[in-house]
Structure 1
């Protein structure tokens, strides 16, 4: 293991909290909440985490969310993830979760927000910072997104931004233009998954129709030179998830990942884990994989981490503190 990668302070901006549920916790919650799953052992769960495309993955993802049925459950899975963050030296993380999945099952939306935030609130001063970014499920359409917004607008102090996630193809951000306009009028920032399953037109739509602060994924921007120039000119961050791109067949193997092309073009790239338990790679694993297979240098790892600090929704004071940690780490590593 690269000591540099293992020890560097890290920032995670693209991680779905249910996607961090390891098989043992999944089975434990299923037993606790009397949920019947089509697998009974850790090995069977791991086998289920093999899929051929995003649509198949989303179906599995929704199925596994059935085991989460209370604020306490969200508290537990977020605690689990934050413990992993501590072990991986992740100092700031912004986690995705939708509320619609749970509201449709009869749960109050506060269950999601309160459960996740409770785990963050337990962090000591100087501990892991961050919070939740609730996401609209795009393949449910704009009417459902509007319903979710009517819920979320009552809890604006409970989250960092609002996102757009799930099945990309056929559901550009343009379908949600009206609701995103309302969100921006309320002073709330937005992000959107675009440019993993879909082409550059989905990224353009996220920019023009959702007015996003970040593009989640964005790797297909390379197919449109005008888009690349726009992203560079406006310094729009891309939250790239390499292992997700491999697992969902965006690229056949990590050695074929377009990461170095993104970096050579001068794009604002950051690295994240997406659904780490499902994809078999948490943030440190993603960094190790791109170093091994994409020839990414320690300096590039450092630069992308700096990008992540600035792309985060942390306060300016917190960003300054994170940059101080990074600068101190780099000086210490060089001196060693």
Structure 2
């Protein structure tokens, strides 16, 4: 492993908290909450994490949500991920959380907020890691469900960094949720949206025009539209790219095909992230290693993407200044 990448201060902006559940925790929480899984041993669970297609990934992800049944469970999951952040020198992280899945099972929405919030409080105290959560609308569940979720979110906006749009992209552009996003914008709450991963560049345009997003999550299909490239060059809307996720979900067949270097060379505001790190076998450090090894990304590019991530984060101005300073100090010590 590159010592430079291992020791470099980092920032992560695109990570689904359930996607950080390692096999050991899946078994542990299943036993605790008496949830029957289709696995008997840890080896069988680890084998399931090596999924072959999107369907197997979704099945595994759903199983992870089923074993989470309390604020304590979310706390354990969040602390485990943030401990990994501490090991990987991640200074700041912003995590997506799915509330609708739990309320549909009759569980209280507050348990998600309470558990994740408590985890971040511990990380701030013990490891000086900043960040917080971004609850999402699950787009394929439709506008009515999103409207119900928004009624709850409005009561807790002080606990969120932003509101997101996630899950199945094709067939569910941001335009379907335009009225809700208008209300979110009126409250001054930032919006981020998954777009341009499985969907075309038009989904990115919809996120920009109909949701007025602060960030685009993924955004790799922007390269299919020269007009969109020019717009993103001009506006510098951040793109939270997840390379290893793209390979695992067969957006690209091989890492050598990934467009992250081309995006950087075009002057787009790219950041690098892990998405669902336990499921894809790659946390942020491993994603950086992969693009350096296979995509022609160099250490200067990694530093640039990290500075981009600091600026694109929802941290306060003082924290951003502090993180830039930490990264500058690292660069001065390690770059000749």
Fold-level similarity (TM above 0.5): yes
Distance in 2 of aligned mates of 1:93 and 1:326: 15
Q: How does 1:156-175 map to 2 (within 5 A)?
A: 156-175=157-176
Contact preservation (8 Å) 1:27, 1:40: no
Which deviates further from its counterpart, 117-126 or 309-318?
117-126
Whether 1:129 aligns to 2:130 is yes
State the 1:42 CA deviation: 2.6
State the 1:264 CA deviation: 1.3
Distance in 1 of aligned mates of 2:160 and 2:53: 30
Aligned-pair Cα RMSD in Å: 1.3
Structure-1 residue corresponding to 2:47: 47
Q: Which consecutive residues of structure 2, in runs of 5 or more, have no partner in the other structure?
A: none
Per-residue CA deviations over 1:188-219 (Å, capped at 9, x if unaligned) read 00000001111101101111111110000000
Q: How does 1:133-144 map to 2 (within 5 A)?
A: 133-144=134-145
Contact preservation (8 Å) 2:21, 2:64: no
Distance in 1 of aligned mates of 2:61 and 2:80: 18
Structure-1 residue corresponding to 2:25: 25
**Cα 1:55–1:197, aligned 2, differ >3 Å: closer, same or farther?**
farther
Structure-1 residue corresponding to 2:182: 181
Contact preservation (8 Å) 2:247, 2:253: yes
Q: How does 1:1-40 map to 2 (within 5 A)?
A: 1-40=1-40
Whether 1:221 aligns to 2:222 is yes
Distance in 2 of aligned mates of 1:285 and 1:308: 17
Per-residue CA deviations over 1:27-47 (Å, capped at 9, x if unaligned) read 000000000111222332233
**Cα 1:255–1:305, aligned 2, differ >3 Å: closer, same or farther?**
same
Structure-1 residue corresponding to 2:114: 114
Distance in 1 of aligned mates of 2:56 and 2:32: 26
Distance in 1 of aligned mates of 2:11 and 2:184: 26
Contact preservation (8 Å) 1:51, 1:248: no
State the 1:56 CA deviation: 5.0
Aligned residue pairs: how many? 335
> What secondary structure does 1:295 align onto?
coil
State the 1:261 CA deviation: 1.1
State the 1:58 CA deviation: 3.1
Distance in 1 of aligned mates of 2:29 and 2:112: 16
**Cα 1:54–1:188, aligned 2, differ >3 Å: closer, same or farther?**
farther
Structure-2 residue corresponding to 1:283: 284
Contact preservation (8 Å) 2:216, 2:239: yes
Structure-1 residue corresponding to 2:155: 154
TM-score normalized with structure 2 length? 0.97
Distance in 2 of aligned mates of 1:224 and 1:52: 30
Structure-1 residue corresponding to 2:74: 74
State the 1:333 CA deviation: 1.0
Distance in 2 of aligned mates of 1:321 and 1:110: 32
Contact preservation (8 Å) 1:52, 1:249: no
State the 1:59 CA deviation: 4.0
Contact preservation (8 Å) 1:169, 1:198: yes
Contact preservation (8 Å) 1:13, 1:239: yes
State the 1:63 CA deviation: 2.6
**Cα 1:53–1:221, aligned 2, differ >3 Å: closer, same or farther?**
farther
Distance in 1 of aligned mates of 2:210 and 2:51: 31
Q: Which consecutive residues of structure 1, in runs of 5 or more, have no partner in the other structure?
A: none
Distance in 1 of aligned mates of 2:39 and 2:326: 43
Contact preservation (8 Å) 2:94, 2:134: yes
Distance in 2 of aligned mates of 1:38 and 1:221: 39
